[in-house]
């Protein structure tokens, strides 16, 4: 018969897995101090490095965190919406939500991002569960508890394993053509040339190979935006240099599971 410590460990792990498998959609609430030239965003989960881009703009403008989960920007001129939002997720890279804040935003309105964040990174009870598991595994624990703890540790290691996304410049690339080969599966790959305001989509010619052909010379460095399954959009600024070479591999700095 399993010991009490084994039962407690199973219960704690089950709770941990339930929390880890759930997610919360990021929302942006317009704060009371917002006006046509001031924007206050209140998020429902902890994120960082929040930026916005106005309609037709090419640059991202950073917001300052005035208090927990509250981000603010003041402009000398009226903000031109709709506004796109970019933010950083802990251990998850950047996410981009296009045109999420309308031009006619109102204080108190809440706008959904469509991006789900795992509760493992934000749930306030996670330290409690981790402490509970540690306390269960004591020197007097039974062999079954030890074996179960070992299995759980292996599961957590596998679950946390991630691969850094890379972009390899493929054969056929030239000053007017770009072939990108990724080491993991992503979708909706786009690039933005230096100084450009719009993103240009690449076509997937075969598995993990994305191609762009233009009638004019490409202007680098190039930023790359792509979609991760169940993870929203990610953006890597200026990752491909203007003087790219066939066979070169460029690291994104983004870890994908």
What is the per-residue pLDDT across 64-82, written as a single tens digit (0 to 9) for each? 998 889 999 999 999 999 9
pLDDT surpasses 60 at 9: no
- Which letter, b or e, does each residue of 43-63 get, where b requires 16 or more Cβ atoms within 10 Å of its Cβ? bbbebeebbbbbeeeeebeeb
Residues 28 and 99 occupy one common structural domain = yes
Last residue of a domain, one of 118, 143, 173: 118
Give the three-state DSSP class for 190: strand
Give the three-state DSSP class for 252: strand
Enter the tokens of residue 248: 């070169």
Residues 46 and 92 occupy one common structural domain = yes
Q: What is the average pLDDT across 44-64?
A: 91
Identify whether the C-beta of residue 166 lies closer than 8 Å to the C-beta of residue 177.
Answer: no
pLDDT surpasses 50 at 13: yes
pLDDT surpasses 70 at 168: yes
Which region among 16-30, 32-46, 116-130 has the lowest average model confidence (pLDDT)?
116-130
> Could you list the residue range(s) of the whole structural domain that residue 247 is in?
163-256
Residues 51 and 177 occupy one common structural domain = no
What are the tens digits of pLDDT across the range 178-222?
A: 999 999 999 899 999 988 878 899 999 888 999 999 989 999 999
Q: What is the average pLDDT across 54-60?
A: 87
Look up the CATH number of the domain holding residue 72. Answer: 2.60.40.760
Gyration radius of the chain over CA positions: 23
Identify whether the C-beta of residue 228 lies closer than 8 Å to the C-beta of residue 234.
Answer: yes
Helix-strand-coil split of the chain, %, nearest 5: 20, 45, 40
What are the tens digits of pLDDT across the range 97-153?
A: 889 999 999 999 999 988 877 655 554 444 444 455 555 555 555 666 666 666 655
Give the three-state DSSP class for 30: strand
Last residue of a domain, one of 63, 93, 118: 118
Domain count, the chain: 3
Last residue of a domain, one of 135, 160, 185: 160
Average pLDDT, the chain: 81
pLDDT of amino acid 239: 92
Closest Cα partner for 248 from 173, 155, 156, 191?
173
Question: Between the CA of residue 28 and those of 72, 109, 257, what are the distances in Å?
Answer: 12, 8, 26
Q: For residue 172, count other CB atoms closer than 10 A to its CB.
A: 13
pLDDT of amino acid 117: 77
Can you list the positions of beta strands (E) in the chain?
A: 23-30, 38-43, 48-53, 61-62, 64-67, 70-74, 83-89, 93-101, 110-118, 163-169, 177-182, 187-192, 200-201, 203-206, 209-213, 222-228, 232-240, 249-256
DSSP state of 129: H
pLDDT surpasses 90 at 233: no
């Amino acid at each position: 018969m399993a010991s009490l410590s084994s039962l407690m460990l199973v219960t704690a792990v089950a709770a941990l897995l339930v929390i880890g498998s759930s997610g919360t959609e990021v929302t942006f609430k317009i704060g009371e101090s917002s006006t046509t030239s001031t924007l206050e965003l209140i998020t429902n989960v902890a994120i960082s490095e929040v930026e916005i881009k106005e309609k037709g703009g090419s640059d991202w403008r950073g917001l300052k965190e005035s208090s927990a989960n509250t981000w603010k920007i003041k402009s000398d001129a009226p903000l031109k919406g709709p506004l796109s939002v970019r933010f950083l997720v802990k251990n998850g890279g950047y996410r981009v939500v296009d045109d999420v804040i309308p031009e006619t935003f109102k204080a108190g309105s809440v706008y959904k991002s469509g991006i789900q964040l795992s509760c493992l990174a934000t749930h306030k009870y996670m330290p409690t569960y981790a402490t509970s598991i540690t306390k269960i595994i004591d020197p007097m624990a039974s062999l079954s508890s030890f074996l179960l703890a070992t299995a759980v540790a292996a599961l957590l290691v596998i679950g946390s394993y991630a691969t850094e996304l890379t972009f390899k410049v493929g054969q056929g690339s030239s000053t007017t053509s770009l072939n990108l080969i990724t080491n993991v599966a992503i979708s909706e790959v786009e690039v933005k040339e230096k100084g450009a305001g719009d993103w240009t989509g690449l076509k997937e010619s075969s598995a993990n190979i994305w191609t762009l052909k233009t009638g004019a010379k490409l202007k680098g460095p190039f930023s790359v935006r792509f979609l991760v399954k169940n993870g929203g959009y990610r953006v890597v600024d200026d990752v491909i240099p203007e003087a790219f070479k066939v066979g070169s591999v460029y690291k994104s700095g983004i870890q994908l599971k």
